[in-house]
Amino acid sequence: MAGEITDNKGRGEADWQWPAIHPEGRKFGVIAGAIALTVTFLFDWELIGWPLIALTAGVFAFFRDPERVVPQDPNLIVSPADGHVTQISLVEPPAELVGDDGSGNPGLPSGTVTRISIFMSVFDVHINRSPVGGMVRRLIYMPGKFMNADLDKASDENERQHILVERSDGVMIGFTQIAGLVARRIVPFVKPGDMIAVGQRVGLIRFGSRVDVYLPAGTDAKVLLGQKMVAGETVLAEIGHTVLLEGVTQ
């Protein structure tokens, strides 16, 4: 049940339910379904129609919006996206998120930080969630190219949207939604000035893309390359915690 409190002492309920379809995707599913049914039954083109019906199911599945159990520890940074970790690197954060934006609101400090990149395939859930709770200080859309989102230069050259969230303790977390080869639209659900909770839905990207998260200084990743992420649930890092992680594929 949405909104129920659970913990690691066994309190709460564990059940499964069909994920909802986000309203942003229903119109695409309905259009695809109408075309498929028209082709299949009115024109009797079953050879084409049945694949179109399967495609309609795929469209609805793409926009699925499952509930997530979000950790409430204030020191944790959770994954904003489903997918796989494809890069963990030391970089300078985007210029759009650094320093004063002219309105008197500070941005990320300059200097090298850890960036975690999460690649979403067309089979992943594409609803993105906030890695921390706080106030949305910036939401900046940047037009650009549509290269493979897994490339390092996609962070600077692809169409993207930067989001900066300030926690109640003043810590700033920046993350970026990046369009890819197939993705052609970044849809925000929030705006500057909004107060949001950790794990809250903040937007989606149609269809397949990447999200970069910039950890604050003095914070290391708690995930490894290739690890599967679950938006709103998987812990990316603990603020102020540095540790070397090693993993073995098996």
Phi, psi (degrees; rounded to nearest 5) at 194: -70, 140
- Which residues, 6 or more positions from 81, have their beta carbon under 8 angstroms from its beta carbon? 118, 120, 124, 128, 129, 210, 211, 229, 231
Q: Where are the domains of the chain?
A: 1-70, 76-238
Told to judge if 89 belongs to the known catalytic residues of this protein, a careful annotator would answer no
CATH of domain 76-238: 2.70.70
Q: What would the 3-class secondary structure string for the chain be?
A: CCCCCCCCCCCCCCCCCCCEECHHHHHHHHHHHHHHHHHHHHCCCHHHHHHHHHHHHHHHHHCEECCCCCCCCCCEEECCCCEEEEEEEEECCCHHHECCCCCCCCCECCCCEEEEEEEECCCCCCEEECCCCEEEEEEEEECCECCCCCCCCHHHHECEEEEEEECCCCCEEEEEEEECCCCCEEEECCCCCCEECCCCEEEEEECCEEEEEECCCCCCECCCCCCEECCCCCEEEECCCCCCCCCCCC
Query: Which listed residue (79, 117, 130, 209) is catalytic?
Result: 209
For the chain, 250 residues long, give each residue's pLDDT as a single digit of tens.
457 788 777 777 767 777 777 777 677 778 777 887 787 777 777 777 778 778 778 777 777 888 999 999 999 999 999 999 999 999 999 999 998 877 778 889 989 999 999 999 888 888 999 999 999 999 999 886 665 556 666 666 678 899 999 999 999 999 999 987 665 678 899 999 999 999 999 998 876 689 999 999 999 999 999 999 999 999 999 999 888 888 888 8
Cis upstream peptide for 41 (omega within 30°): no
Q: pTM for this structure?
A: 0.85
CB neighbour class for 232 (10 Å; exposed up to 12, middle 13-18, buried from 19): buried
CA atoms within 13 A on the CB side of 25: 23
